Amino acid sequence: MKQNKRIIAIAGPTAVGKTALSLSLAERLSGEIISCDSMQIYRGMDIGTAKPTEEEMARIPHHLINIVSPHSPYSCADYERDARAAMAEIAARGKTPIFCGGTGLYLESVLYEGKLQSPEASEEIRSALWERGAEDVYEELMRVDPEAAQSMHPNNRKRVIRALEIYLVSGKTKTEWDRENKRQTLIPGAELYVLTSSDREALYRRIDARVDLMMAQGLLDEVRRLSLDPKTTAGQAIGYKEFYSYFRGEETLEDALAALKQASRHYAKRQLTWWERNRDAVKIDMALTSPQEALENILSGNYLAT
């Protein structure tokens, strides 16, 4: 890859305005967009993951969207491999790679040099943890690794179990492993911009409005049609798992919608917390900055000069 080419990443919480900014950047920089969303990779999960529309994808070429069945496993290592290949291909054609998405772990795996290391999986330990209740497992993780526990939702059993498995296999917490593996250097040409919002209430209103729009677009039918397995990564996606109890007749649709809005707001808070620790990221407060101003400052390199 030519090192004099820019590689731009637009990250941040859900509903903060990443998609619109990345599209404008791609148009101005002759760029192509690489999705960095751990759920938009799955085919058929369109409305609930807020995928770019057909018109937006026709407007600008997009990569790593709709590449995997929701019933198939896909890891961060898979994403790193595929994203690096897409990035090299885009740059080789003289275009600008522009990452857009909210999955911090995926994005950092590509933008930073070095390789993450963690203990090998233990099927015996993992199976035993799956047999325990979600609350019990989360409480144990909170006891041994509170920092990791607080970064994930208690009901995201796959992540919680993996974090606890790391500790039980190695004797070191996931937080300790992450610190030891912390990447220090962005790859040549990379620019990382994180959209934030100091007006949390305004951001939460945008999130609630997005959920209402998803429902109007047919989210409920999409969830019903996909029939996702709750034990899979795709089946634990926000926007889908909140409806399982409703389909089983255990709660009302209003309750499911309230749970989805709350889960989306909590996810946004976790995304903001994730990026707060990144010293390389240029933080852009969208409560104080217009999308046009952010666009022009990125294009001109003003943010990097300050």
Residues 11 and 70 occupy one common structural domain: yes
When divided into structural domains, the chain yields a total of 2
Residues 194 and 297 occupy one common structural domain: yes
Cβ–Cβ under 8 Å, residues 295 and 25: yes
Instruction: For residue 275, tell me if it sits in a domain.
Output: yes
Residues 171 and 112 occupy one common structural domain: no
- The structure's pTM equals 0.80
Cβ–Cβ under 8 Å, residues 215 and 198: no
| Token pair listed for 242 | 């909140």
Domain end among 138, 158, 180: 180
Whole-number pLDDT of residue 4 = 47
Structural domain boundaries, residue 131: 123-180
Domain containing 77 — which CATH number? Answer: 3.40.50.300
Cβ–Cβ under 8 Å, residues 271 and 10: no
Domain containing 159 — which CATH number? Answer: 1.10.20.140
- The DSSP symbol for 235 reads G
Whole-number pLDDT of residue 116 = 56
Question: Tens of pLDDT along the chain (306 residues)?
Answer: 344 489 999 999 999 999 999 999 999 999 999 999 999 999 999 999 999 999 999 999 999 999 999 999 898 889 999 999 999 999 999 999 999 999 998 999 899 986 556 677 788 888 889 889 889 999 999 999 999 998 888 888 888 999 999 999 888 898 888 776 665 689 999 999 999 999 999 999 999 999 999 999 999 999 999 999 998 889 999 999 999 999 999 999 999 999 999 999 999 999 999 998 888 999 999 999 999 999 999 999 999 876
Instruction: For residue 2, tell me if it sits in a domain.
Output: no
Domain end among 137, 164, 180: 180
- The DSSP symbol for 116 reads -
Domain end among 158, 180, 202: 180
- 190 vs 9: CA distance, rounded Å: 8
SS3 32: strand
Q: In what order do the strands lie in the sheet with 96-100?
A: 62-63, 31-35, 96-100, 7-11, 190-196, 282-285
Whole-number pLDDT of residue 182 = 61
Element (H, E) at 19: helix 18-29
Residues 153 and 299 occupy one common structural domain: no
SS3 62: strand
